[in-house]
Amino acid sequence: MRLQILFVFALTLAAALPCVDAQAQETASISVSTAYAPVGKPTTIPIGWKLFCDAQPDECVASNAGTQSVKLDPYAWRQLVSINTLVNNGIEGVPDTEHYGLKQRGIPNWWTYPDDGRGNCNDYSLLKRRLLIEAGWPKSALLLTVVLDHHGAGHLVLTVKTNAGDLILDNLNSEIVRWNETGYTFLKRQSPANPNVWLAIDAKQVASTSSSLR
């Protein structure tokens, strides 16, 4: 029920936002050839994704629509911003060890939807992915991505493939930025063709901190 409320509110907020100005429209539609992460060969699947799919197999079915990216027009940009903001502001951040008692249960990592309004980076990313899919965004453009954050710790973000590059939705940053503007080290992400296949990202390419898209 909480997820349904979040979804309805996200779409309402997106529709209610005023039209962006000319500068924002230009930013939203810009195409940058170097703004796409260099993905490589298949690699190991995160244990959190495996356990998530065991618990919710319907959420892990590959799309038959083929691989797609999103044209980032002003409406799509408003919708992306509103859903990202809604989830970041609506979920209370809490570590899995505290939230789910993973050590006591003998579970190494746990990804799920934050139905109780609490969660960590995995839960934020899963909810953003789900809300965008329910809003009509293609699954193949919404890729869970494993990175090392600014402190060298493992972290999960959502990559959104667009004509403006690979954009990152992150619970640690209220701004939506391109992957190479995060300052993170990118390790791997889902394949656009199949969410159960994960592709390595050149770990030597550390994104440089830069300005956001907006």
Q: What is the pLDDT of residues 187-214, one digit of tens each?
A: 999 999 999 999 999 856 544 444 445 4
Number of domains in the chain: 1
What's the token pair of residue 181?
């503007």
pLDDT of residue 22: 30
Let me know if residue 209 belongs to a domain: no
CATH code of residue 45: 3.10.620
What's the token pair of residue 52?
């998530």
Let me know if residue 147 belongs to a domain: yes
Let me know if residue 89 belongs to a domain: yes
| Mean pLDDT in residue range 65-85 | 92
Let me know if residue 207 belongs to a domain: no
Structural domain of residue 144, as residue ranges?
2-201
* Per-residue DSSP letter, 204: T
Report percent pLDDT > 70 for the chain: 72
In angstroms, rounded to a whole number, what is the distance separating the alpha carbons of residues 161 and 140? 8
pLDDT of residue 99: 57
User: Lowest mean pLDDT: which of 2-11, 72-81, 85-94, 96-105?
Assistant: 2-11
Query: Contact, 161 vs 87, CB < 8 A?
Result: no
| Reported pTM | 0.81
* 84/1: higher pLDDT: 84
Let me know if residue 23 belongs to a domain: yes
In angstroms, rounded to a whole number, what is the distance separating the alpha carbons of residues 166 and 159? 6
Let me know if residue 69 belongs to a domain: yes
pLDDT of residue 104: 57
Let me know if residue 214 belongs to a domain: no
pLDDT of residue 16: 41
